[in-house]
Amino acid sequence: MTQTQSGEDPTEVQNSSLSSSMYSCENLPNHVVTIVMVPFPAQGHLNQLLQLSCLISSYGLPVYYVCSATHNRQARIRANALNPSDIAKIHFHDLPTPEFDSPSPDFNALSKFPSHLQPSWDASMLLREPIASFLRDISSKAKRVIVVHDLLMSYNVQDVSSLPNVESYVFNCISVFTSFCLQSLSGGRMSIQHEEELLKKLPSLEGIATDEARDFSASQRRYMDIRSGDIYNTSKVIEGKFLDLLTQVASDQNKKNWAIGPVLPTKLDRISNRENICLDWLNKQPPRSVLYVSFGTTTSFSDREIKELAMGLEQSKQRFIWVLRDADRGDIFTEEARKVELPEGFEERVNGVGLVVREWAPQPEILAHSSTGGFMSHCGWNSCIESITMGVPIAAWPMHSDQPMTGFLVTDVLKIGLIVREWEKREELVNASTIENVVRKLMASEEGNVIRKRAEELGEAVRQSTEKGGASRMEMDSFIAHITR
Ligand SMILES: *[C@@H]1O[C@H](CO)[C@@H](O)[C@H](O)[C@H]1NC(C)=O
Ligand SMILES: *[C@@H]1O[C@H](CO)[C@@H](O)[C@H](O)[C@H]1NC(C)=O
């Protein structure tokens, strides 16, 4: 278990032009507050903490991003909508990657929960010692160390409690609405009397995860009390009511919280100038005319489901960009792609109307593009908040975990989307005519236009909140002021 003083694995430096500059703890002036980010090794989580890293580092604070070598590499090569020069300021500290199986997803499973990732999550439980030793080292040289970690890494950062100048904050990768619902429904500290009517209409929690995954998550919660506070990637503009309810509970427990979202890079337009097949194609389409179809990094479809989706899109006669990918494996670098068969002649028939891409797509830029008018999504929080921020309405097709609740937030609370299929029908095949109907309704109907208008207004308000003097910006300033106090 070698740990370099520089915070970098030297082999990475030679191999990768994406490597950050070296930063030696030895050089840290000891008045400095140092930030250590500890992400959970799955794409949606890696990405969020990397963006937060860049944001914190823009305040001139040194930021370390600490994860296994494999996942640090993944975070860097897939960095979306981030400026390479901002990423270069982050000090990636590679922990030795524990060995784990990296099977392919089960395309035909009735449940969409990505249980093939479980071995990599289990392996993450072996990172406690290397993280502790990194923290001991760095905390001996800094005035104060601030650990910002994923909720699902709570077990691994528990040694924070034995280091006097280290404190930890949980970065929540789900919506405040979902946190609120989960706490209410699990009969926790949140009383169900709030929002009782709403909670009655929620999709059930059945089938959202495997027992192993629930156990995994429960084993993290045991260490949650160590934290000093919570950070949420959301905005008062989106979930103010639920944020107030959670803040109430948090302050009863003496924990602070901040709603610093949406954390979007500020110079999206400049980054967007880069060459990309999706963006080039979008440039040639009429305003608000394109449906962007993507199901994130943890969803796989069977051949049959893909065929129905393809036919539904074609029959809708609407323009689309479809990101056709399987779920990630635990180690994305072991991936051999399945060759997905589209219906005979599909790509020729939709030529000019639809674009199928099989590689990594620049999602924030696509959503920000003026030709994009809708998003068919699995409703991961990342995707939803990106869509909300860009003012794009959502065709919600939740697959697992927090997604059914996030879908409910989008369709029933914020009313900026339509549901593709009810959670209760999750084990039924979604056929082409269902897809066709929902796409038409969202992209080409009066009802769709009303929803789009509402989404655009919300997006506008959210974007304003990130500007100087806006609510989110002030929350971020307040977090920085707190940790550098
Ligand atoms: C927060 O939300 C934005 C969308 O507004 C998303 O692009 C980003 O990945 C998230 N960032 C963090 C730090 O969670
Ligand atoms: C497609 O599914 C919907 C909803 O389950 C159902 O009502 C409809 O009859 C199906 N259509 C076809 C053509 O199978």
pLDDT computed for residue 268 by the predictor: 54
* Cα-Cα-Cα-Cα dihedral sign, residues 436, 439, 443, 447: positive
Q: For ligand 2, what atom is nearest to the CA of residue 432?
A: 1
pLDDT for 202-232, tens place per residue?
A: 998 899 999 999 999 889 989 999 999 999 9
The CATH number that domain 273-462 falls under is: 3.40.50.2000
- Tens-digit pLDDT profile for residues 382-440: 899 999 999 999 999 999 999 999 999 999 999 999 999 999 999 999 999 999 999 99
Q: Which atom of ligand 2 is nearest to the CA of 428?
A: 5
Which residue type, as a one-letter code, is found at position 253?
A: Q
pLDDT for the residue numbered 31:
53
> Residue 347 and residue 222: Cα distance in Å, rounded?
50
User: For the chain, give me the number of helices (H) and strands (E)?
Assistant: 20, 13
277-287: pLDDT as tens digits: 999 999 999 99
Q: pLDDT: is 192 or 255 the higher one?
A: 255
For tokens 């948090």, the residue is 250
pLDDT number for residue 265? 53
* Tokens linked to 474: 């002030």
Which ligand gives the minimal distance to the CA of 479? 1
Q: Whole-angstrom Cα distance, residue 100 to residue 440?
A: 44
Residues contacting residue 386 through CB under 8 Å, at least 6 positions apart: 262, 264, 363, 364, 367
Could you tell me the two tokens for 112? 């969409």
Contact 174, 45 (CB under 8 A): no
206 and 78 Cβ atoms separated by less than 8 Å: no
pLDDT digits (tens, 9 = 90+) for 29-76: 555 899 999 999 888 789 889 989 999 999 999 999 999 999 999 999
Assigned token pair, 189: 């500290």
Q: How far apart are CA 286 and CA 289, in angstroms?
A: 6
Q: What is the C-alpha to C-alpha distance for residues 377 and 383, in angstroms, rounded to an integer? A: 7
Q: Atom 5 (ligand 1): residue with closest C-alpha? A: 262
Q: Which residue has the higher pLDDT, 351 or 100?
A: 351
Supply φ then ψ for residue 290, to 5 degrees: -105, 135
How far is CA 79 from its chain centroid? 12
User: Of 12 and 73, which is predicted with more confidence?
Assistant: 73
* Surface-to-core class of residue 30, CB atoms within 10 Å of its CB (0-12 exposed, 13-18 middle, 19+ buried): exposed
The SS3 assignment for 172 reads strand
364 lines ligand 1 (CB under 6 A): yes
pLDDT of residue 109: 87
pLDDT at 24 (0 to 100):
43
What's this model's pTM, rounded to 2 decimal places?
Answer: 0.86
Q: What percent of the chain has pLDDT over 90?
A: 60
- The total number of residues shown for the chain amounts to 485
The single-letter DSSP state of residue 91 is E
Average pLDDT over the chain, rounded to an integer: 87
pLDDT of residue 335: 65
Compute the distance between CA of residue 290 and CA of residue 293 in angstroms, rounded to an integer.
9
For the record, the structure tokens of 361 come out as 């797509």
Q: Where in the chain is the domain with CATH 3.40.50.2000?
A: 11-266+468-483, 273-462
| Residues facing residue 11 across a β-bridge | none
309/342 Cα distance (integer angstroms):
10
With pLDDT > 70 as the criterion, what percentage of the chain qualifies?
A: 89
Q: What is the pLDDT of residues 107-156, one digit of tens each?
A: 888 888 888 889 888 989 999 999 999 999 999 999 999 999 999 999 99
Pocket test for ligand 1, best of 148, 263, 367 (most atoms within 8 A of CB): 263
Instruction: For residues 238 and 471, give the distance between their C-alpha atoms in angstroms, rounded to a whole number.
Output: 11
Active-site choice (9, 86, 94, 150): 150
Token reading at 239: 């979930």
- Provide mean pLDDT across the span 302-326: 95
Mind listing the pLDDT tens digit for each residue in 353-393? 999 998 888 898 999 999 999 999 999 998 999 999 999 99
Query: Could you tell me if the CB of 478 is within 6 A of ligand 2?
Result: no
Nearest protein CA to atom 6 of ligand 2, as residue: 434
Pocket lining: 422 vs ligand 2, CB cutoff 6 Å? no
Is the pLDDT assigned to residue 187 strictly greater than 80?
no
Identify whether 45 is a catalytic site residue.
yes
Three-point CA angle 391, 230, 175, nearest 5°: 30
Question: Given this model, what pLDDT does residue 347 score?
Answer: 92
What are the residues whose beta carbons fall under 8 Å from the beta carbon of 177, sequence distance 6 or more?
239, 242, 405, 406, 409, 413
Confidence class for position 194, pLDDT limits 50, 70, 90: low
Q: Sort 197 into a burial class: Cβ within 10 Å, 0-12 / 13-18 / 19+.
A: exposed
Q: Which two tokens stand for residue 123?
A: 């392996």
Nearest atom in ligand 2 to the alpha carbon of residue 431 is: 1
Question: Are residues 140 and 5 in contact, defined by beta-carbon separation less than 8 angstroms?
Answer: no
What lies within 8 Å, CB to CB, of 272 at 6+ separation is 279, 362, 365, 368, 369
Comparing 56 with 300, which gets the higher pLDDT? 56
| CB atoms inside a 10 Å sphere around CB 206 | 10
Ligand 1 site-directed mutation target among 264, 268, 392, 465, most atoms within 8 Å of CB: 264
pLDDT recorded at residue 426: 94
Is pLDDT at 343 greater than 80 in this prediction?
Answer: yes
Give, in order, the Cα–Cα distances in Å from 130 to each of 133, 137, 139, 426: 5, 11, 14, 40
pLDDT value at residue 328? 79
How far, in Å, CA of 246 to CA of 175, rounded?
A: 12
Pairing mode, strands 319-323 and 290-294? parallel
Separation of alpha carbons 157 and 159, rounded Å:
5
Which value, in Å, is the radius of gyration of the alpha carbons in the chain? 22
91 - beta bridge partners?
Answer: 64
3-class DSSP state of 24: coil
Ligand 1 atom closest to the CA of 364, numbered from 1: 7
Q: Looking at the domain that runs over 11-266+468-483, which CATH code has it been given? A: 3.40.50.2000
Would you call 331 a catalytic residue per the annotation? no
pLDDT in tens, 401-414: 999 999 999 999 99
Residue pair 39/92 in contact (Cβ under 8 Å)? The answer is no
Judge if the beta carbon of residue 315 lies within 6 A of ligand 2.
no
Decide which of 79 and 167 is more confident: 167
